[in-house]
Amino acid sequence: MRKKTQLIHGGIVGDEQTGAVSVPIYQVSTYKQEAVGKHKGYEYSRTGNPTRHALEELIKDLEGGVAGFAFGSGMAAITATVMLFNSGDHIILTDDVYGGTYRVMNKVLNRFGIESTFVDTSDVENIKKALKPNTKALYIETPTNPLLKITDIEAVSNWAKSEDLLTIVDNTFSTPYWQNPIKLGADIVLHSATKYLGGHSDVVAGLVVVNDNKLAEDLHFIQNSTGGVLGPQDSWLLIRGIKTLGVRMEEHETNTNKIVEFLSTHPKVEKIYYPGLPSHPYHEIAQKQGSGFGGMLSFDVGSEEAADKLLAKIKYFTLAESLGAVESLISVPAKMTHASIPPERRQELGITDGLVRISVGLEDVEDLIEDLKQALEL
């Protein structure tokens, strides 16, 4: 089955009993048992719910793993995944991971004895140097947010395997439509499904897919024990969103290419970060490991004042955190998504005050370009 077909026919489709083509929303907490322990596979909706199960099967198929899990947010998915490890274990992470990932590792999970080291994982040598006797996993995000740095998934997961580490990939930016980390050697793939998978700025959710039965058993145990599950209504919304993921991603990318082309020649734009640009330092790796470059790009307008001016004048790009939805969004990472990262650290990473990130939506791209043009004028 090809990707666009799988988006629509993957997982569990419709309802056998009625012939409904859409999975019903099983708004239910508990299930009748015929005798003690004799039931139809569902006992209690924290443990399992048919609508959530349909979504979990779908994401499993899309990522090519053995089991999928749906959580109440991307952060709940990430937290549950890190709970696979024990106090005293060490994890190496990409240095410009999502701000919330940095925060949960440094302010919450550290209190339970999970150690972490953040390095630029786009260079495997940095990862090797961070290895400790208690290192148990490598956690990468690629492309990263907001600088769109790329890590070679196949290269780093091969190395991780040789050191007995699990490789975990946050695949939020690429989505399973463009990139399948498990097929490149990763063990666990996770998503903030709030972004492209949902796609309509109307649901907060997280998904995890694992490549092995033991991991599946352990993660289900954690999901059921800690309880951060996704509700049936939101599971249904995600299934609906995923059906159009292919057409949306194609169009996001078409629009992005045109915007990149426009920004590339604009005198006020000092630098553009987009992996689809042949001049992007990781262009070739991005091309090798994915089938598209996505709809996220960042550009530097040189100063906080210039960024403020742009934001004050822009009309069609909504000033908001988040990404991946039908409406174009604009943000200044230093003050928004990455505000929880200390200023010195932001400077080190290159997340300057003049850096503007856009999530290109599905509006008419001519309107988006005209809007950027007027907003970039003095």
Contact footprint for ligand PLP (CB under 6 A): 73-75, 98, 100-101, 141, 145, 170, 172, 192, 194-195, 204, 206
170 is catalytic: yes
Q: In angstroms, give the least distance from the CB of 34 to ligand PLP.
A: 38
Of the pair 74, 361, the CB lying nearest ligand PLP is at 74
Q: Per the residue annotation, which of 195, 248, 346, 357 is the catalytic one?
A: 195
Residue 61 annotated as catalytic: no
Q: Is 46 a catalytic residue?
A: yes
For the chain, where are the E strands, in sequence order? 67-71, 90-94, 115-119, 135-141, 166-170, 188-192, 206-210, 271-273, 296-300, 318-319, 329-331, 355-359
Measured CA to CA in angstroms, residue 188 lies from 27, 143, 214 at distances of 29, 16, 12
Shortest distance (Å) from residue 232 CB to ligand PLP: 18
| 317 or 376: CB nearest ligand PLP | 317
Judged by beta carbon, residue 106 or residue 158, the one nearer ligand PLP is 106
> Does 98 participate in catalysis according to the annotation?
yes
CB of 5 to ligand PLP, least distance (A): 27
The residue nearest ligand PLP at its CB is 74
For the CA atoms of 251, 187, 147, 73, what is the dihedral angle to 10 degrees? 70
- 71 within 8 A of 228, measured Cβ to Cβ: yes
- Taking the C-alpha atoms of residue 161 and residue 309, their distance in angstroms, rounded to an integer, is 48
Instruction: Tell the smallest beta-carbon distance from residue 171 to ligand PLP (Å).
Output: 8
What is the distance of C-alpha 294 from the center of its chain?
A: 12
Q: In this structure, which long-range contacts are made by residues 348-352, counting pairs with CB atoms below 8 Å and at least 24 apart in sequence? A: 349/95, 349/96, 349/147, 350/147, 351/96, 351/146, 351/147, 352/300
Q: Whose Cβ is closer to ligand PLP: residue 246's or residue 324's? A: 324
Q: Which residue is catalytic, options 46, 161, 240, 268?
A: 46
Which CB, 222 or 365, lies closer to ligand PLP?
222
Q: Which of 26, 98, 102, 274 is catalytic?
A: 98
For residue 182, the 8-state DSSP code is G
Residue positions annotated with a catalytic role: 46, 98, 170, 195
